[in-house]
Amino acid sequence: MLMLALGDSITYGYGASAPEKRFADRLRARFARQVRATLHIQAKPGWTARQLFKSLQDLPPCIVEEAEIVTLMIGGNDLLRSAPVLLTRRADLIQDIMRRSEEDVERLVEWCKRPHSTFGIATLYNPFPNFALAEEVTQEYNDRVRRIALRHGLVVVETYKAFRGHEPDYVEHYRSGQFRDLRLFRNPIHPTDEGHEALAKAFFRALQRARSKERARAARRRAAWRA
């Protein structure tokens, strides 16, 4: 079974103490207990949704075509790069950023989704839970992710809920949970080893549940054909 993990620095593994501790590798290891599983990671630190999409143009088509499990966690850099505009708190500008982000993520989904694949799309956790604007923006973005999932039949992986209340343990270099904690170095953004484990658990539970339901539906269809 081929797994395709799409994303930015989090999927790439920032914050993990070793490559095998990043959430994508932990997720592959969980599925490998059931079936032989290989993993391709298409992720780079700093990538926005548009940059990730651009990178897919050079990805061998067979990887997308053969992937049985696809994971997508993207958008954090889109929001961080838009921070100067978001901090104006102008509703019209914020909605414009959200609309463009939704379009960029949906284009990724349309490029990578295949009928045979189980596609898990993650909501974003908020590394600044004590900053009201960050909470509002994260919730708005996540609502749009959920709508994309509904339109395309994707599995929603609620990493926001998995991290909520655990940020001091799950976010590397966590300080006060305020946006002012941003630094040039040691930013409180990426998951710790515990955070990567929480991501892996959230992805595995959601994907496993969806795959079990699909197997049950397939079994019912086969039984109906035999009847």
Helix 193-226 to helix 23-32 angle (10° resolution) is 40
User: 8, 74 in Cβ contact below 8 A?
Assistant: yes
pLDDT digits (tens, 9 = 90+) for 69-107: 999 999 999 999 999 999 999 999 999 999 999 999 999
The pLDDT score that the predictor gives to residue 211 is 85
Rounded-to-10 torsion of CA 155, 160, 166, 170:
80
Residue 217 DSSP symbol = H
CATH code at 43? 3.40.50.1110
Q: Where are the beta strands (DSSP E) in the chain?
A: 2-7, 38-43, 67-73, 118-122, 155-157
Average pLDDT, the chain: 94
Domain residues for the domain of 8 are: 2-226
What total of structural domains would you count in the chain?
Answer: 1
Residue 67 DSSP symbol = E
pTM score of the predicted model: 0.93
Residue 218 has pLDDT above 70, yes or no: no
pLDDT digits (tens, 9 = 90+) for 142-181: 999 999 999 999 999 999 999 999 999 999 999 999 999 9
CA distance 149 to 169: 29
